[in-house]
Amino acid sequence: MLDKAPNGKVSDLLIALDKALSAGEVEPAVDLFQADCYWRDLVTFTWNIKTMEGKEQVRDMLKARLADTKPSNWKIADGEDASEADGITESWIQFETEVARGFGHMRLKGGRIWTLLTTMSELKGHEEPVGFDRPMGAKHGAERNRKTWKEEREAEAAELGYSRQPYCVIIGGGQGGIALGARLRQLNVPTIVIEKNERPGDSWRKRYKSLCLHDPVWYDHLPYLPFPRNWPVFSPKDKIGDWLEMYTKVMELNYWGSTECKKASYDEKSRDWSVVVQRDGKEIVLKPKQLVFATGMSAKANMPKFEGMDTFKGDQHHSSQHPGPDKYKNRKAVVIGSNNSAHDICAALWEAGADTTMVQRSTTHIVKSDSLMELGLASLYSEQAVQSGMTTAKADLIFASLPYKILHEFQIPVYNAIRERDADFYKRLEKAGFLLDYGDDDSGLFMKYLRRGSGYYIDVGASELIANGSIKLKSGVDVKKLTEHSVILSDGTELPADLVVYATGYGSMNGWAADLISKDVANKVGKVWGLGSNTTKDPGPWEGEQRNMWKPTQQEALWFHGGNLHQSRHYSQFLSLQLKARMEGIPTPVYGLQKVHHLG
Ligand SMILES: Cc1cc2nc3c(=O)[nH]c(=O)nc-3n(C[C@H](O)[C@H](O)[C@H](O)COP(=O)(O)OP(=O)(O)OC[C@H]3O[C@@H](n4cnc5c(N)ncnc54)[C@H](O)[C@@H]3O)c2cc1C
């Protein structure tokens, strides 16, 4: 290729891509990709969340989907310029399909496509009412018996779920259910969010009292309504609870608090769900077409079973039930586990004057919060990033543009740098007996989160207490049994205890489907979360995307949504568009529906 400016290189390639795809010619399009290439599609071509890895998979997908998708108008995104560094040319791009407008990102190496991200921005004819199209609110003119906005909202609340069925029911009104509910509201998809707690935000409020978000504010914005500029970097849990409550109200969600879903079943013939809920002491059966589980990936408690638990005379509970340290001053506390919750709970117990011991069975990845913020997140999610013009939407898309298959390669150097920077800290932790790891392939925290959703602590102070012995540590041991007043470990140590906290993590979200639908459906859908990386707790084969999250599952009309605030924000866009398309009867043939390899 001629040595052209980045814009010229990207434009030439997009013209060639447009020409091939418009003509329905797969081979010339595939030729524009380099051998080692990745095309990540969020819903535009595949009606799925899918990464095509290598030319073969790109070819297969195009053969299956090009004729229906009818992509066109590929160009550098309006107002953007391509850039070039270290032999890679990159650019924001836009395009259309027959039914949607798309936005994406492209990286070229040697003039050919190395990574391509295609995402659906909006469905044609079903755009969100924003900007020039925003609602009037007031109705000018005169009309007899007109209803106010409040009366209309009240009428909707009285009718939806009773005389009129919602198209979609979301079980779980935490941040996941709320963010998705907000997007569906803007897309005019009648939706009810079912939440067994009384108020939006209660899932945060009910957690242990010392909890603050571990992720910083720039990473945590909800759709449509970012946090104000004076919002704290790490939201205290009750504050985020209040924000979610406010958000639910101003985004006009049909949110049924104090309502528990008891069971659900799908009628394959009528293609609707029967969702049995208990609201205000009354049973109501909802009949939506689509059912979303937003019941939390950190909510289905893994409660271990140890001999003697039934005879233990002190307090014992899973970390999700831990009320906080106040009752335990001068008492003996044993915390089983060594990840985030275990550390936070141990630190709060120590602060309250409890004699606290952590029991660590296997290695844990620790990363200091400030190191993670500065080396791991700053380029996309930080005040510096904002100052340099980075928006949340762009940061999310840049992150999404890095294919999972090679994401660890980008992460390893970050965690190597963190290990070097905090070498003394890690040395002191090891000296105290703490068993450290940095991920199976040294790729650190984020890969652990994506692969298994556990196995780490973002250090905000507890590690120092472990290093200096304030929090006692027993590592490399398991619990053998409990007696009336103690915990006996596998090495024979007896830890006297007034309190035992089981910070033993959470189970796969399809466990909720087993509880509320059936074991058969839970098995049909399989494990939720993880990439199939064949690393600890993320068995292969390679999936390429997170199992079952935000995309079609093996059970028609059943979806899973959730994750951290970033994921809830970003992926709710693509899940809401998939649901809207189905409601509007737009054909949504799913390409590459995942196979099930693990049951849970
Ligand atoms: C200790 C801890 C710290 C965390 N820190 C962070 C952090 O810093 N940043 C971050 O982004 N994430 C964090 N997470 C992870 C995750 O983001 C949170 O768990 C978050 O609450 C997930 O939101 P969600 O809406 O997916 O699930 P949840 O908040 O768990 O909400 C699920 C809701 O479903 C409801 N529900 C379940 N079953 C039913 C039923 N049958 N009927 C009606 N309602 C039902 C529950 O009551 C609950 O309110 C943390 C998690 C934990 C446990």
CA distance linking residue 104 with residue 107, whole number of Å = 10
CA distance linking residue 33 with residue 113, whole number of Å = 4
For ligand 1, mutation pick of 381, 452, 564, 566 (most atoms within 8 Å of CB): 564
CA distance linking residue 446 with residue 366, whole number of Å = 12
Range list of H helices, 368-437: 369-371, 383-387, 392-401, 404-421, 423-431
Long-range pairs for 29-32 at CB < 8 Å and ≥24 separation?
Answer: 29/58, 29/62, 29/66, 30/55, 30/58, 30/59, 30/62, 32/112, 32/113
Tell whether ligand 1 has an atom less than 6 A from the beta carbon of residue 467: no
Do residues 6 and 89 lie in contact, with contact meaning Cβ atoms separated by under 8 Å? yes
Tell whether ligand 1 has an atom less than 6 A from the beta carbon of residue 189: no
Q: What is the whole-number distance in angstroms between the Cα of residue 380 and the centre of ligand 1?
A: 24
- Closest by alpha carbon to 541, among 494, 496, 577, 594? 594
- Closest by alpha carbon to 184, among 559, 565, 588, 525? 559
CA distance linking residue 133 with residue 219, whole number of Å = 29
Strands 88-96 and 100-109: antiparallel
Q: Could you count the other beta carbons within 10 Å of the beta carbon of residue 435?
A: 15
Question: Which residues 6+ apart lie within 8 Å of 393 measured at CB?
Answer: none
Smallest CA separation from ligand 1 atom 41, residue: 261
Measured in whole angstroms, the distance separating CA 504 from the mean position of its chain's CA atoms is 20
CA distance linking residue 293 with residue 529, whole number of Å = 13
Tell whether ligand 1 has an atom less than 6 A from the beta carbon of residue 216: no
Do residues 589 and 552 lie in contact, with contact meaning Cβ atoms separated by under 8 Å? no
Tell whether ligand 1 has an atom less than 6 A from the beta carbon of residue 564: yes
Tell whether ligand 1 has an atom less than 6 A from the beta carbon of residue 214: yes
- Measured between alpha carbons, how far is residue 209 from residues 272, 310, 348, 555 in Å? 41, 27, 9, 38
For ligand 1, mutation pick of 195, 198, 205 (most atoms within 8 Å of CB): 195
Phi, psi of 304 (to 5 degrees): -70, 160
CA distance linking residue 404 with residue 338, whole number of Å = 27
Do residues 381 and 342 lie in contact, with contact meaning Cβ atoms separated by under 8 Å? no
Measured in whole angstroms, the distance separating CA 90 from the mean position of its chain's CA atoms is 26
Do residues 326 and 352 lie in contact, with contact meaning Cβ atoms separated by under 8 Å? yes
Strands 456-459 and 355-360: unpaired
Tell whether ligand 1 has an atom less than 6 A from the beta carbon of residue 235: no
Do residues 222 and 175 lie in contact, with contact meaning Cβ atoms separated by under 8 Å? yes
Q: What is the whole-number distance in angstroms between the Cα of residue 236 and the centre of ligand 1?
A: 15
Tell whether ligand 1 has an atom less than 6 A from the beta carbon of residue 213: yes
Smallest CA separation from ligand 1 atom 10, residue: 564
- Closest by alpha carbon to 99, among 591, 580, 592, 573? 580
Phi, psi of 401 (to 5 degrees): -80, -10
- Measured between alpha carbons, how far is residue 241 from residues 200, 204, 246, 318, 478 in Å? 7, 6, 9, 21, 35
Do residues 216 and 263 lie in contact, with contact meaning Cβ atoms separated by under 8 Å? no
Which stretches of 43-87 are assigned E, i.e. beta strand? 49-53, 72-76, 83-85
Q: What is the block-wise mean pLDDT of the chain (600 residues), using blocks of 10 residues?
A: 78 98 97 98 98 98 98 98 96 98 97 98 97 91 92 97 98 98 98 98 93 95 97 97 98 98 98 97 97 91 96 97 95 98 96 98 97 95 96 96 96 97 98 97 96 96 97 98 98 98 92 95 96 96 97 98 97 98 98 94
Ligand 1, closest atom to CA 561? 26
Q: What is the whole-number distance in angstroms between the Cα of residue 247 and the centre of ligand 1?
A: 16
Tell whether ligand 1 has an atom less than 6 A from the beta carbon of residue 93: no
Q: What is the whole-number distance in angstroms between the Cα of residue 17 and the centre of ligand 1?
A: 42
Tell whether ligand 1 has an atom less than 6 A from the beta carbon of residue 174: yes
Residue 1 is predicted with a pLDDT of: 45
- Measured between alpha carbons, how far is residue 568 from residues 121, 127, 335, 393, 559 in Å? 16, 21, 30, 13, 14
Q: Could you count the other beta carbons within 10 Å of the beta carbon of residue 270?
A: 10
Length, in residues, of the chain? 600
Residue 3 is predicted with a pLDDT of: 55
Ligand 1, closest atom to CA 296? 27
Tell whether ligand 1 has an atom less than 6 A from the beta carbon of residue 203: yes
Q: What is the whole-number distance in angstroms between the Cα of residue 299 and the centre of ligand 1?
A: 6
Residue 587 is predicted with a pLDDT of: 98
Ligand 1, closest atom to CA 512? 38
Smallest CA separation from ligand 1 atom 11, residue: 564
> Tokens standing for 108?
């070229």
CA distance linking residue 414 with residue 451, whole number of Å = 18
> Tokens standing for 496?
């006297």
Tell whether ligand 1 has an atom less than 6 A from the beta carbon of residue 549: no
Ligand 1, closest atom to CA 212? 8
Smallest CA separation from ligand 1 atom 16, residue: 564
Tell whether ligand 1 has an atom less than 6 A from the beta carbon of residue 26: no
Tell whether ligand 1 has an atom less than 6 A from the beta carbon of residue 562: yes
Longest dimension (CA), the chain: 83
Tell whether ligand 1 has an atom less than 6 A from the beta carbon of residue 241: no
Smallest CA separation from ligand 1 atom 12, residue: 564
Tell whether ligand 1 has an atom less than 6 A from the beta carbon of residue 561: no
Q: Omega of the bond prior to 236 within 30 degrees of 0, cis?
A: no
Do residues 92 and 396 lie in contact, with contact meaning Cβ atoms separated by under 8 Å? no
Q: How far apart are the first and last CA of the chain?
A: 50
Residue identified by tokens 């109501």 is 284
Residue 544 DSSP SS3? coil
Smallest CA separation from ligand 1 atom 33, residue: 172
Q: What is the whole-number distance in angstroms between the Cα of residue 116 and the centre of ligand 1?
A: 32
